[in-house]
Amino acid sequence: MVLDNLEAKMGMYQHIRESWKNPQADLRNLWKSRIIEWRSTGSTVRIERPTRLDRARSLGYRAKQGFVLIRQRVPRGGRQRAKIRKGRTSRHFGRRKNVDKSYQQVAEERSAKKYPNCEVLNSYYVAEDGIYFWYEVILVDKAHPQVLADKRISWIAMPQHTRRVFRGLTSAGRKSRGLRHKGKGAEKFRPGRTANRKRRLE
């Protein structure tokens, strides 16, 4: 009875969020057909509305002119070199590659390259299979009049936010740079690893 009352009080976005956290068994066929369709399309696809409306809204998306939604496909793998079968290699030439960027940050950068007049606001995960990851990237046209007139988003047109995705300033980029941590153990993260390395060499 208590659960029924809680469900009655939940809003639309909460219902969407809960269905993503705990998907029902009857949604399996829907997801299977959706991924089959996404595989056959291009790697960068502009879409009309977000797949995860609650997540998009929480990350700053608004259903108005100047906002562009992209579904970006990123191939999995590439974190390990092929097996070395011939030749003599250095002792330090291992198979493992240390990749600082996450798949999500790579997806954001590829979307930004396709739409150079837009800035990446944020992105979120939508699906994966054995070959690909899919992310939806929120882009903002920084020259659009409606964006410039909106006080909540007009900051993105300022010059200090130019090419912010390539400088690791988005949420996914900051996470890859280790900027989610503060205090003990995170002394070398700020203002950046390169800046700290130069400071220590002085």
State residue 24's pLDDT score.
73
- Give which of 3, 1, 36 is closest to 129, Cα–Cα: 36
User: Nearest Cα to 104, choosing from 176, 175, 172, 174?
Assistant: 172
Residue 1 lies in a domain: no
14 inside domain: no
In a domain, 7, yes or no: no
Does any domain span residue 138? yes
Q: Range of 49's domain?
A: 42-83+94-201
Q: Tell me which residues of the chain have a pLDDT lower than 70.
A: 1-10, 25-26, 98
In the chain, % of residues over pLDDT 90 = 56
Residue 37 located in a structural domain: no
Number of structural domains the chain divides into: 1
Residue 56 lies in a domain: yes
- Residue 8 burial (CB count, 10 A): 7
Amino acid at 156: I
Q: Enumerate the H helices of the chain as residue ranges.
A: 2-9, 12-21, 28-40, 53-58, 103-114, 145-149, 171-176, 193-201
71 in a structural domain: yes
Instruction: Please give the model's pTM, rounded to 2 decimal places.
Output: 0.82
CATH of the domain at 53: 3.40.1120.10
Strand bridging mode 118-128 / 132-141: antiparallel
The answer to whether position 19 is within a domain reads no
